[in-house]
Amino acid sequence: MIQSTILSEKTGRPVFLKLENVHEVGAFKVRGAANKILSLSEKKKTWGCNFFNWNHGIAVAYVAKKIGIDAVVCISNRVPKAKIDSLKRLGAQIEIVGDSQDAAGERCYELERGKGLTVIQFDDPHVMAGQGTIGLELLEDLPNLTDVIVPLSGGGLLSGIGLALKWIDRYFPESLTVFKKWEGKTVQNAVGPLQ
């Protein structure tokens, strides 16, 4: 964690940044992938795991390689070559299916039904708990923390961090403002109390 001098000056209060890009896979996603894969039974681990999003797929492939299990990552033909090369370097079996993440997702669930592979999805409770370790570290490093800004795409990161913050400190502020980038537009939603 580092303090941002520029953001602190602009806001008139201390602003810290949690640099999740320093993980070997370049993103926080390794936390959730590791937590989910390590929670699998030994039998499930022998069947392998899969995912249909290249960013999370890289984290799944990385963790699978580290513990010696197979990973199948289903992606669309729109995934950039650099990401495919990363998946190959990590030893993942890659299935390129269709023009969308939805088509790749359908194939992923076919593999789950047909071969027993475990789908490791961003909204899985074990994945969200893994992402929630960020919240625990924030409170450990900054015990007087009052505000946290979390980027949002699928919601696994925000859910994990929010749950961890409320679990540890039930008096942590009960509402968040969520900004989501969607097709070039910013959408603001007020989120009610975290339970």
- First-residue to last-residue Cα distance in the chain: 27
> Chain-centre distance of CA 125, in angstroms?
11
Q: Whole-prediction pTM value?
A: 0.82
Token pair 């961090």: residue: 161
Angle at 13 between CA 10 and CA 19, to 5 degrees: 80
Q: pLDDT band for 44, please (50, 70, 90 cuts).
A: confident
| Angle between helical axes of 156-168 and 125-141 (0-180°, round to 10) | 50
> Chain-centre distance of CA 43, in angstroms?
24
| pLDDT for residue 172 is more than 70 | no
pLDDT at 26: 86
Of 180 and 91, more confident:
91
Residue 10 sits at φ, ψ, to 5 deg, of -70, -30
Checking 104-110 for CB contacts under 8 A at 24+ apart, the result is: 104/52, 104/53, 104/74, 104/75, 104/76, 105/52, 105/74, 107/52, 107/74, 108/50, 108/51, 108/52, 108/72, 108/74
DSSP 8-state symbol, 181: E
Angle at 161 between CA 59 and CA 168, to 5 degrees: 130
